[in-house]
Amino acid sequence: MFRLAALVSFVTFASSVVNAQSPVYGQCGGQNWNGATTCAAGSVCTFSNPYYSQCLPGSASSPTGPTSTISSSASQSSSASHSSSSASSVSSTSSTPSQTPVAGNPFTGYSIFLSPFYAAEVAAAAGNITDSTLAAKAASVAQIPTFTWFDQVAKVPTLGTYLASASALGKSSGTKQLVQIVVYDLPDRDCAAAASNGEFSIANNGQANYFNYIDQLVAQIKQYPDVRVVAVIEPDSLANLVTNLNVAKCANAQTTYLACVNYAIEQLSTVGVYMYLDAGHAGWLGWSSNLSPAAQLFSTVYKNAGSSSFVRGLATNVANYNSLTTNSPDPITQGDACYDEQLYINALAPLLKQQGFNAQFIVDQGRSGVQNIRQQWGDWCNVKGAGFGTRPTTNTGSALIDSIVWVKPGGECDGTSNQSSPRYDYHCGQSDAAQPAPEAGTWFQAYFQTLVSNANPPL
Ligand SMILES: *[C@@H]1O[C@H](CO)[C@@H](O)[C@H](O)[C@H]1NC(C)=O
Ligand SMILES: *[C@@H]1O[C@H](CO)[C@@H](O)[C@H](O)[C@H]1NC(C)=O
């Protein structure tokens, strides 16, 4: 194994001396990458994650050298929302929708574009597994569509590259492409927990920074009207406003969250993004005392944003572990009439409808393959024994559910178990949480391998 790797790397190295540049959108770095680390003219090598750097269009113009896009403050203050493309300046400034919303399921008739970022993570992970059967199963996960989380403004230019690739693929294959994203960069994010605190703070210009983040997403999406974009809007945020206003950080964030989500909906509607507002899960808003307040809040947010037809409905179970349907409730759900996601959706939908919001749903089942593995329903962090779940499909068995989806890319960590980390949350140190776990969002190899082994249905 090792010898072969060394030989391969020598050959690649030798050839990279001859062909020292990667093409635009080509790989230019990452763990175990032995190819070219410089990019063709007109593109810049841009860090995506420890396993993947990519040549993205643009010149290293003003800040010369390898611009670090990791630094979260790097692009906030720039007015450069159009800098990634010289073509964008011709687009009209009209705020009228460039597309007319379809009446039906936005997933119908489209092929879901596979995230190159996740595919690269999975490929690197599979390459690290010595058991060849398990490695093959692991590698197959790269073919299952997940959402891409735009959890930092510096990652937004990557969306442009995905849209460009999706547009090209749509044309060459004759099958229209759908790109799935998560909008996730609120100031004072994750107000009731610690593991996913974000880059913006309300006290430090957070709302303006967030508006700029949304503007940058819009600028990218506007350039590719042939690609359909489906977005989950701000996981946990509105749900926190339903149940966690007793937490000071959430109470303090309330007006800003509402203003930011409103802005996101209005602006993303102008470029035809189909949106599902995050609605927590059965074990959170599905309790009978929470259902009505939740319906009230979601409907109000929907109406305040002009009842946009691009707000298709709500997303549930994002990054969580609940089953869609079950005949035997997990013991931890004791007492909740909504002991699975379908029951939660069935209970919530009529309440929304009463308030004028005819919501449809998508449900994350990415890591719901194994049940009865948690000690408490509130446990959400790297739950031990979890497995990949039902594959994404529009064949959902429910008229209320547009699609089963994988929102959380399985293998990316929920939160660190390092108690000294500023983002340590006690849930990630509990006995049903896999440990040691790296920071939220980074790759968690051992956990990924468990998800593969325990996949249900099997991979
Ligand atoms: C835990 O976090 C602290 C503080 O960020 C860091 O200094 C330390 O290296 C981390 N430990 C491990 C094992 O990652
Ligand atoms: C892959 O294996 C190498 C060598 O053992 C290790 O340094 C690296 O961290 C591993 N990568 C992952 C994603 O686990």
The pLDDT tens digits for 421-446 are: 999 999 999 999 999 999 999 999 99
Neighbouring residues of 223: CB distance < 8 A, sequence distance ≥ 6: 85, 87, 88, 91, 160, 163
**Nearest Cα residue to 235 out of 150, 328, 125:** 150
Distance 422 CA to ligand 1 centre (A): 9
Determine the atom of ligand 1 nearest the C-alpha atom of 438.
14
The pLDDT tens digits for 401-420 are: 999 999 999 999 999 999 99
pLDDT of residue 42: 81
Residue of minimum CA distance from atom 6 in ligand 2:
128
Yes or no: say if 71 and 53 are a contact pair by the CB < 8 Å rule: no
Neighbouring residues of 307: CB distance < 8 A, sequence distance ≥ 6: 356, 357
For residue 8, pLDDT beyond 60: no
Q: Check pocket membership of 79 for ligand 1, CB cut-off 6 A.
A: no
Catalytic residue positions, numbered: 236, 414
- State the Cα–Cα distance between residues 186 and 217, nearest whole angstrom: 14
Q: Of the spans 15-29, 52-66, 306-320, which averages the highest pLDDT?
A: 306-320
Residue of minimum CA distance from atom 4 in ligand 2:
128
Chain mean pLDDT for the chain: 86
Mutate to test the pocket of ligand 2, among 445, 447, 449, 450 (most ligand atoms within 8 A of CB): 445
Mutate to test the pocket of ligand 1, among 197, 417, 420 (most ligand atoms within 8 A of CB): 420
Distance 156 CA to ligand 2 centre (A): 27
The pLDDT tens digits for 358-383 are: 999 999 999 999 999 999 999 999 99
For residue 2, pLDDT beyond 50: no
Yes or no: say if 315 and 362 are a contact pair by the CB < 8 Å rule: yes
- State the Cα–Cα distance between residues 268 and 420, nearest whole angstrom: 38
Neighbouring residues of 69: CB distance < 8 A, sequence distance ≥ 6: 46, 47, 75, 154, 155, 157
Residue of minimum CA distance from atom 14 in ligand 2:
445
Q: For the beta carbon of residue 131, count every other beta carbon within 10 angstroms.
A: 11
Please give the C-alpha separations between residue 278 and each of 193, 218, 236, 267, in angstroms, as whole numbers.
16, 20, 6, 17
* Average of per-residue pLDDT across 215-244: 97
User: What are the DSSP calls for 37-85, one per residue?
Assistant: -EE-TTEEEEEEETTEEEEEES---SS-SS--S-STTTTTS---TTTT-
For residue 80, pLDDT beyond 50: no
The pLDDT tens digits for 276-308 are: 999 999 999 999 999 999 999 999 999 999 999
- State the Cα–Cα distance between residues 125 and 226, nearest whole angstrom: 33
Distance 437 CA to ligand 1 centre (A): 11
The pLDDT tens digits for 188-197 are: 999 998 878 8
Q: How confident is the model at residue 270 (pLDDT cuts 50, 70, 90)?
A: very high
Residues facing residue 401 across a β-bridge: 361
Residue of minimum CA distance from atom 5 in ligand 1:
421
- State the Cα–Cα distance between residues 278 and 291, nearest whole angstrom: 14
Distance 436 CA to ligand 1 centre (A): 11
Q: Is 65 left (phi over 0), alpha (psi -120 to 50) or beta?
A: left
Q: How confident is the model at residue 334 (pLDDT cuts 50, 70, 90)?
A: confident
Distance 93 CA to ligand 1 centre (A): 47
User: What are the DSSP calls for 139-194, one per residue?
Assistant: HHGGGS---EEE-SGGGHHHHHHHHHHHHHHHHHHSS-EEEEEEE---TT-STT-S
The pLDDT tens digits for 109-154 are: 999 999 999 999 999 999 999 999 999 999 999 999 999 999 999 9
For residue 54, pLDDT beyond 80: no
Q: Check pocket membership of 421 for ligand 1, CB cut-off 6 A.
A: yes
**Nearest Cα residue to 426 out of 370, 381, 457:** 381
Q: Check pocket membership of 420 for ligand 1, CB cut-off 6 A.
A: yes
Q: Check pocket membership of 125 for ligand 2, CB cut-off 6 A.
A: yes
Q: How many CA atoms lie within 13 A of 291 on its CB side?
A: 19
For residue 249, pLDDT beyond 90: yes
Q: How confident is the model at residue 17 (pLDDT cuts 50, 70, 90)?
A: very low
**Token pair recorded at residue 152:** 């930092």
Residue of minimum CA distance from atom 13 in ligand 1:
418
The pairing of strands 111-112 and 38-39 is: unpaired
**Token pair recorded at residue 131:** 């058991």
